[in-house]
Amino acid sequence: MSGDKPGLFLRLKAGLNRTATSLGDGVSALFNKRKLDHAALEDLQDLLIAADLGPAVAARVTEKLAAERFDKEISEQEVRSALSDVVVDILAPVERPLRIDAEHRPHVVLVVGVNGTGKTTTIGKIAKGLRDQGKSVVLAAGDTFRAAAIEQLEIWGERAGAIVVRREVGADPAAVAYEGLERARAEAADVLLVDTAGRLQNKADLMDELAKVVRVLGKLDGTAPHDCLLVLDATTGQNALRQVEVFGEVCDVSGLAMTKLDGTARGGVLVAVAERFGLPVHFIGVGEGIDDLQPFGARDFARAVAGL
Amino acid sequence: MFDSLTGRLGEVFDKLTRRGALSEADVDAALREVRVALLEADVALPVARDFVAKVREQAVGEAVVKSVTPGQMVVKIVHDALVETLGSEATEINLNAVPPVPILMVGLQGSGKTTTTAKIAKRLQDRDKKKVLMASLDTRRPAAMEQLKILGEQAEVATLPIVEGQMPVDIAKRAIQAAKLQGFDAVLLDTAGRMHVDEALMAEVAAVRDAVQPAETLLVADSLTGQDAVNVAQQFNERLSLTGIALTRVDGDGRGGAALSMRAVTGCPIKLLGIGEKLDALEAFHPDRIAGRILGMGDVVGLVEKAAETIDQQDAEKLAKKVQKGQFDLNDLLDQLRQIGKMGGLDGLMAMLPGVGQMKKQMAQANIDPKLLKRQEAIIQSMTAKERTTPKLIHASRKKRIAAGSGTSVQDVNRLLKQFKQMSGMMKKVNKLGKKGLMRQGLPGMPGLPGAPGLPPPR
Ligand SMILES: Nc1nc2c(ncn2[C@@H]2O[C@H](COP(=O)(O)OP(=O)(O)OP(=O)(O)O)[C@@H](O)[C@H]2O)c(=O)[nH]1
Ligand SMILES: Nc1nc2c(ncn2[C@@H]2O[C@H](COP(=O)(O)OP(=O)(O)OP(=O)(O)O)[C@@H](O)[C@H]2O)c(=O)[nH]1
Ligand SMILES: [Mg+2]
Ligand SMILES: [Mg+2]
């Protein structure tokens, strides 16, 4: 979505490489001229688990390897590319950019997720990307709960060049979303991005609140929200599966973004998520800056995971 | 999603016990299950490995091999070892230094530093009667300083006036200076989130540490963290010599393996748990609770406390009286359904209960879906006041109306009425135990949670 400036790509690569090296190093330590026997497969499985793929997915990946090459001498390069192939198989179908439909005026994107994953920041980054493409953007400050959440979104709005619709602290988030949609229509804006407060998926009342936002948007435009973006944090472990499941039930999540891939967290749970839910992955976040957002690329992600 | 460790081990030992005495290899098989359970709970791989090795030494002993219930025996050994590793001593915030005592809060982006800073400040001020000043050294995140200022207002804790353009070290020095002059007991320093591999930012916070020599350097970390927990904890510890860990989002349904990982690699005590977004949602660390969660055995204490929190004592007594007099009606059932909803719904409750895995299976078999609560609420809401107090009135045409009004089917209405009848029956039985017996069970009506077969009562 945002222009492919070389600086950004390098930064992404640096981020993903860190992900890759730790896993990749493990693989190379294991498979330098080694037989792919039971012990080796078990070690490989551990390496994948250490990347947050989760025990089940890790087991399947190694099973595939075993089926093809059991008890053969296997080079490090072969292991990595086989590993990458399996991961690509899982991730390729979910590599899909966020598509803004010009038929919708505005195209409404509801952004949801648990606390602190990076929703507000990602909205700022997406808004910037859209503005760079010449689209007009309105942001709705639907987090009326957290201290200074509204101010935070306003600053992002300023940085990105987007209008921010806000109401007072404690206002009904659904009402803010509604107003945001009205305003976006009045401005004939291309896109409305609705920020929401972070919420843990096991809090029934907060999830109801979210369902209400969806309902109320639907009152003004029967087809809205057109996208519901769930923001996942790469440092999160297996709970991410639960997040996708429950948010999916409540607000019909249409796509994912994964943030904080610029640390050492490998975000491998995304592979498990993709395998189980098949939801499109639109973006990855690789830093705190406004340009630190990249379209998700299955091949890059998989190759990085495999250390290629 | 996760079968509890008990369930897993049950399966392993079921197979084994039929063959008679257990061998060392059998114990190994069981320990492999322990390992998988730990990994599923996000315990970091190296930590899980060490832990299993440690447990193995104890588990190969006679006790397990000869035990009639080897599965439970292993679980107990694992559980106790977990509690021991997590650290059983409760450690308070250390204020043993010349006031103003500096406390430095550090961690990854979005882990909950600012919120936890305000929670700790509020606690020191309200409970320990200390005079506390908070200062934000976060010069990067949009509105970060504003956030702490607002939290200070909410908690009625003083915050250092914001001066634009100052560097973190200078803000820290200014905070200490101001606190000295104004006679504060403690100064909490909130910092910007940073990645442990971000050299520039780690150097920045190390400089702050050198400048203020904090009595506490607390790592604020998300309890939902996965395998990366070891890297984060290790590197923050190496760089800053942490004195403790505060775990946030413990109110989530994560399994909390990160707690074990971080404790194991840093040796630092886990001092506090964040259990909500509000400023009083902070509590002391309970190793047994976290141990139970990691093993998928449920957070029974947490459940009972949550029940006590959500359920108004007076309401409970009123209900108990009604039950005693045999006056339990559909209004009361509606109340009960809402209480359960408030406690996080069936799913939330189940996450805290022991034997969750098994129960989920039972529920699936019995076709109970978690949205049931909402539907049942809707059904009762579509009844007239009279129908609610006298359910006998509800005949065919009324059922049709109620079904239509609540967007359900007559079958659903029938099912609810049948459950209500069963519940009333059970109430009468409970009643025979007398009021005391009922109150001791804590949650009147819970045993009759509509349609949940075999819901184990909180022990
Ligand atoms: N390193 C890094 N930090 C990020 C990334 N995305 C967001 N952040 C940081 O994560 C922190 C939380 O981001 P927010 O956007 O406030 O998260 P949120 O989900 O809106 O949080 P709540 O509204 O409180 O639930 C901030 O410090 C962001 O700068 C990323 O891709 N990389
Ligand atoms: N449910 C729950 N939410 C929490 C808890 N602690 C913090 N939060 C929420 O997590 C989000 C991030 O909290 P912050 O205090 O802003 O996190 P931070 O570490 O200061 O973030 P940065 O300064 O951006 O690095 C907010 O939405 C908080 O309300 C907790 O214990 N439980
Ligand atoms: Mg936000
Ligand atoms: Mg902060």
pLDDT in tens, A47-90: 788 889 998 888 888 888 778 766 667 777 777 788 888 889 99
Contact B75, B33 (CB under 8 A): no
Of A147, A200, A266, the CB nearest to B249: A200
Of B152, B141, B163, the C-alpha closest to A155 is B141
Least confident residue range of A50-59, B147-156, B185-194: A50-59
Structure confidence at residue A193 (pLDDT): 98
Which residue(s) pair with B50 in the sheet? none
pTM of the prediction? 0.80
In B38-138, the DSSP E strands lie at 101-106, 132-136
Least confident residue range of A17-31, A254-268, B243-257: A17-31
Is B344 within 8 Å of A115 when comparing Cβ atoms? no
Per CB-CB distance under 8 Å, the chain A contacts of B249 are 114-115, 200
> Tens digit of pLDDT for each residue in B406-451?
888 999 899 888 888 877 776 666 555 544 433 333 333 333 333 3
Per CB-CB distance under 8 Å, the chain B contacts of A155 are 142-143
Pick B374 or B205 by higher pLDDT. B205
Residues 147-186 of A with CB under 8 A from B: 147-149, 151-152, 154-156
Least confident residue range of A8-22, B239-253, B322-336, B412-426: A8-22
Of A212, A117, A195, the C-alpha closest to A156 is A195
Contact A138, A176 (CB under 8 A): no
Structure confidence at residue B375 (pLDDT): 83
pLDDT, average across residues B128-146: 97
- Report residue B210 as tokens: 């050198």
Phi, psi of A37 (to 5 degrees): -95, -170
Of B192, B216, B189, the C-alpha closest to B202 is B192
Structure confidence at residue B360 (pLDDT): 52
> Tens digit of pLDDT for each residue in B90-101?
788 999 999 999
> Tens digit of pLDDT for each residue in A173-219?
999 999 999 999 999 999 999 999 999 999 989 999 999 999 999 99
Least confident residue range of A168-172, B70-74, B191-195: B70-74
Pick A92 or B377 by higher pLDDT. A92
Query: A152 in ligand 2 pocket by Cβ < 6 Å?
Result: no
Of B131, B104, B98, B130, the C-alpha closest to B116 is B104
> Tens digit of pLDDT for each residue in A211-242?
999 999 999 999 999 999 999 999 999 999 99
- Report residue A119 as tokens: 């929703």
pLDDT at B22 over 70: no
Pick B416 or B130 by higher pLDDT. B130
pLDDT, average across residues A160-171: 97
Distance of alpha carbon A120 from alpha carbon A116, whole angstroms: 9
Distance of alpha carbon B186 from alpha carbon B179, whole angstroms: 8
> Tens digit of pLDDT for each residue in B205-226?
999 999 999 999 999 999 999 9
| CA dist list (Å): B436 to B301, B422, B426 | 21, 22, 16
Task: Tell me the nearest-neighbour CA distance from B268 into chain A, angstroms.
Answer: 21
> Tens digit of pLDDT for each residue in B256-276?
999 999 999 999 999 999 999
Residues contacting residue B76 through CB under 8 Å, at least 6 positions apart: none
Confidence class of residue A16 from pLDDT cuts 50, 70 and 90?
very low
Structure confidence at residue A232 (pLDDT): 98
Contact B22, B16 (CB under 8 A): yes
Atom of ligand 2 at shortest distance to CA of B138? 23
**A94 C-alpha vs ligand 3 centroid, how far in Å?**
25
Structure confidence at residue B9 (pLDDT): 65
Q: List the domains of chain B with CATH numbers.
A: 3-86 (1.20.120.140), 101-297 (3.40.50.300), 302-441 (1.10.260.30)
Using the Cβ of A55 and the Cβ atoms of chain B, whether some distance falls under 8 Å is answered with: yes
* A·B CB contacts under 8 A: 149
Confidence class of residue B64 from pLDDT cuts 50, 70 and 90?
low
Query: A146 in ligand 2 pocket by Cβ < 6 Å?
Result: yes
Of A146, A156, A237, the CB nearest to B224: A237
- Report residue A34 as tokens: 């080694």
- Report residue B109 as tokens: 């982006």
Task: Tell me the nearest-neighbour CA distance from B62 into chain A, angstroms.
Answer: 29
Structure confidence at residue A82 (pLDDT): 80
Per CB-CB distance under 8 Å, the chain B contacts of A232 are none
Of B219, B220, B229, the C-alpha closest to B257 is B229
The count of other CB atoms within 10 Å of the CB of residue A9 is 12
Structure confidence at residue B451 (pLDDT): 30
**ipTM score assigned to the predicted complex:** 0.90
Contact A121, A153 (CB under 8 A): no
Which residue(s) pair with B284 in the sheet? B272
Residues contacting residue B351 through CB under 8 Å, at least 6 positions apart: A202, B253, B298, B299, B344
Query: B109 in ligand 1 pocket by Cβ < 6 Å?
Result: yes
Q: Which ligand is nearest to the CA of A117?
A: 1
Closest B-chain CA to A150 = B143
Any idea what DSSP says for residue A106?
S
Structure confidence at residue B25 (pLDDT): 78
Is A147 within 8 Å of B150 when comparing Cβ atoms? yes
Structure confidence at residue B366 (pLDDT): 52
Structure confidence at residue B294 (pLDDT): 84
pLDDT at A43 over 70: yes
Of A202, A234, A260, the CB nearest to B348: A202
Of A50, A237, A288, the CB nearest to B109: A288
pLDDT, average across residues A107-121: 98
